[in-house]
Chains A and B, each alone.
Chain A
């Protein structure tokens, strides 16, 4: 069996990963993620999440496909409220003004892994937390992302 592989060996480096600022609108986040599809044409992986940075460039959260489903659900909820209560319209600009990335992201402090952790440790976190994207840190600095598909590929190689 091969020597123990580390998270940093299989992660996608942060320089290649799509990022968005935490006060960006949902639409801006959608556009950024879509553009990353095209840049990555010809590779076997695509990106299904975005890293969210604050003004200082620090990683504060993660936008996953699930976050976008939540956005859709929130929008539907707001629309229903406004239909039932016309006075709600007064609050519309405020509500939609607040409808940014920060509202739907998965906060960073919840789940991360260090770059010198083993691949198995990453696998355990992803399986236990039932997530698909796991941000990788060197100390407190974000350096990459490891995803279900990276781990699956690695498992498949073991069987060859």
Chain B
């Protein structure tokens, strides 16, 4: 039985690699920062699909994902068969929803405290936490500080030796 060697700290993306945004920023600003995040490196797996939200003191308070933006317009409460939706331009509808909401990043982000990985967690530990909370990214905590983000894609790229 081989011991698992990879830990959260070894496979995570360091916090400094991420773009950041104020937790008080609007959804518009968040969309702009996320788009810049992809562009920044161009290649598929280097443009991060999340940005880190920070409070006024500069401390990380949340992870803002693509999914959180898409969910922000309250579409979950709509019905797909609603004839009104077929009739209007959905882009117009979507933007109107965002404006009405007046939402800020802190309202839609995944809070740091929701679920975390510890620096020495194994791949399996991390996988279990992600499945339990149904998330694809977890903050990595070491001595009470957030030091990075571990994503499901990081686990994927590290797990192959378990199945050889």
Contact = CB atoms under 8 A, between A and B. Distances in A.
A75 B162 contact: yes
Interface of A: 1-4, 25-27, 30-31, 33-34, 37, 40-48, 65-66, 68-73, 75-76, 79, 83, 99, 118-121, 123-128, 130, 132, 148-149, 151-153, 155-156, 158-159
A30 B159 contact: yes
B85 A120 contact: yes
Q: Is the interface of B mostly helix, strand, loop or mixed?
A: helix
Interface of B: 1, 28, 31-32, 34-35, 38-39, 42-45, 47, 49, 66-67, 69-71, 75-76, 78, 80, 85-86, 89-95, 123-124, 127-128, 130-131, 134, 136, 152-153, 155-157, 159-160, 162-164
A159 B76 contact: no
A18 to B, nearest CB: 12
Contacts of B123: 72
A87 B1 CA distance: 16
Contacts of B128: 73
A132 B39 CA distance: 20
Given A27-B163, A68-B152, 9 more contacts: A30-B156, A43-B43, A66-B136, A69-B152, A72-B159, A72-B162, A118-B86, A151-B70, A152-B70
Most A CB contacts (10 A, CB to CB) among B91, B94, B124, B152 go to B91
Contacts of A26: 163
Given A76-B124, A124-B75, A126-B70, A25 B163 contact: yes
Q: Is the interface of A mostly helix, strand, loop or mixed?
A: helix
A81 to B, nearest CB: 12
Given A27-B160, A73-B127, A44 B42 contact: yes
A127 to B, nearest CB: 5
B44 A72 contact: no
List the 10 closest pairs (A to B, CB-CB), nearest first. Answer: A46-B44, A120-B90, A65-B152, A1-B89, A69-B127, A27-B163, A158-B91, A72-B127, A76-B124, A1-B92
